[in-house]
Each structure stands twice: as C-alpha cells, then as structure tokens.
Amino acid sequence: MIDPAAQIHPRAEVQPDAKIGARTRVWQFAIVLSGARIGADCNLNAHTLVEGGAVIGDRVTLKCGVYVWDGITLEDDVFCGANATFTNDKQPRSRQHPADYARTVIERGASIGAGAVILPGLRIGAGAMIGAGAVVTRDVPPGETWVGNPARRLA
C-alpha cells in the first residue's frame, strides 16, 4: 500500500503492491518493485531502485544511483551517498540465482559514503560511517568510521 501522503514523481515507476510510508518522496526515474517495503519520511533520489525483498526504514536517504537489492535492510535514519553499491550474492553467475540472497543489515543511523561497496551478508553497526569509495569486506562495529580498500577502522 502506498500512503496517500507519499510523493511519487510521475516519471517514477512504483509497482502498486509496494509499501511506501507517509511523506516519502520518490523522484523521477526511480523504480520500486513489488513487495518492497519503504518507511515514512524517506527520500529516494532519481535513478534509484528498490527490489521486492528489500526493507527500508523511516527517514532513509538514497542519493542518485543507489540500488537496494533483495536481502538488504536499511534501518531507520540510514544515509546512502551517490552510487553506493550493495551486493547480495556471494557467487554471482548469469541466470543462476541462489535459493536465498545473503542478508545485509545497515543499522540505524549509519552512513554509507558515495561510491562505497558493501559486500553481501554483512552488518554495518548503528551510527557507523563508511567513507566514500571504501570496499567493506567484513562487519563494521557500531559507531566506527571505516575507509579504504579493503575498508579498515579509521584510528
């Protein structure tokens, strides 16, 4: 169900059985697939995609070029910078899909910098900060800042 207070740009494609909360804004050329769950007060910028098995909490921002795939959960108050990349398959092959996608959780208040890559099956702790361009290959504890490739804790 799409809340009547949600703002959907006429050039966005939102499938009717997606769930979108009040005051969420979905900009032009964004795609929200069947089964996606998006909370209230979110901002999905242009050229974003939310797959049907994705869950997005309240007050989440997706900047341009962010795709949230099946198995990805973004809790409340998460920020994803432009072209941040999530992955959900540890051994991707063309036309071969796993029975279940890896579960990735970005906890409340975490920020993912522009162009960062988050490998599948990880947990980014509450309030953590991932630097622009970082490649995250393992879990990040709450409140820490990680940068680089592979990403490491900023001391």
What pTM was computed for the model? 0.96
Q: Is the dihedral of CA 17, 64, 24, 118 positive or negative?
A: positive
d(CA 24, CA 70): 20
* Structural Rg of the chain based on CA atoms: 15
**Which domains, ranges and CATH numbers included, belong to the chain?**
1-155 (2.160.10.10)
- CA-CA distance, 1 to 96, in Å (whole number)? 31
User: Going by DSSP bridges, is the β-strand pair 145-147/152-153 parallel, antiparallel, or unpaired?
Assistant: antiparallel
Question: What is d(CA 70, CA 97) in angstroms, rounded to the nearest whole number?
Answer: 12
With contact defined as beta carbons under 8 Å apart, do 7 and 23 qualify? yes
Alpha-carbon distance of 129 to 111, in angstroms, equals: 5
Q: Name the one residue in this structure whose structure tokens are 């509450």.
A: 126
The distance of Cα 66 from the centroid of its chain, to the nearest Å, equals 7
Q: Over its length of 155 residues, how does the chain's per-residue pLDDT go in tens digits?
A: 999 999 999 999 999 899 999 999 999 999 999 999 999 999 999 999 999 999 999 999 999 999 999 999 999 999 999 999 999 999 999 999 898 899 999 999 999 999 999 999 999 999 999 999 999 999 999 999 999 999 999 97
Give the DSSP letter of residue 125.
Answer: P
Give the type of residue at 102: A
